[in-house]
Structure 1
């Protein structure tokens, strides 16, 4: 089953525009949308409060696909989005993102998702009032052009010193950049429940578990 998922919420494009984007994408990529799912929200609820959405996630089966205009349609919170991607991976559901164009499934390299998640985190941060600069703005950094390399280095376990030498930059400045953008947290903490090892034994030991299903199981045990 292929679902087209759209959401009415302040800050997102209109439902009509979301429908248009998904239709154009599906036609261009020869994808047949079997069912359209619409979520109506008058405010940005936490995922635990979005009961119908939670039920939809639990109804998904292996081989299903979801097409969304942007990742922010699923959630505008980075940490929630990580949970949702974990859920789709655990259920072997394919997620098609129209903009920026991405296909997320079990073959997706985790490092390719870091920029998307980090962009959402920065968008979250920009919404808060910041003293000394206009609301919604964020100072740029000379390290922004190295972000992909920095994320790759952190993923591979490189030290800040080693990365600084490789990029020929100051270690202290690079360390400040990593901390201010919370890049290490994104790499170290977000994906602990995922493992894409080809080894059968490791795959059996580290099964992907949807966080929502995990919470449900814990409640049933209690």
Structure 2
């Protein structure tokens, strides 16, 4: 299911809410206001895209749980923290573990809207990348062990005759397996296949869920 991005507003004042109403449009994003962090946590669903705008002065008692929830999402929900003048409260520093922006109050409306727009774009980009990784894993899972073996040598830059010699199989068999690799991975070229494998081996593709036979392409 595709969710419309949501601006989750936690304990912010009326002026902030009014500043962000201009970002809400048909097919755009929606606003969801919570007077406390607790009410937000009770309704929290990590599958919902968007970003959080919170007033740090309102979340102190629930900050540890809020930090844990928001940083454990995949991807972590971007956060915009509104803080008063003076040193940032100690409790706000824990949020630096995730994608976060700090804005001083009183907040300039245009600066706030710009920060929210950037946060929504980051969240969308991260979710698209996660979706692509999941799709590439599903494609790679269709490969037989023999096809994975050929793919590993393909992305190392070996020619078909060298792959055949290394695996002690015919060049015709290599060609058939190579064709199967390209078809199952839906790669239009060897360069695109290499790019797919680089994505699968990126930090975003965690070891716990990456396919066992994903191979590192030759960077050269």
Instruction: Assess same fold via TM > 0.5.
Output: no
**Larger Cα Rg: Structure 1 or Structure 2?**
2
Q: Name the TM-score, length of structure 2 as normaliser.
A: 0.30
Compute the TM-score of the two structures, normalised by the length of structure 1. 0.30
Higher relative contact order (CA 8 A, sep 6+): 1
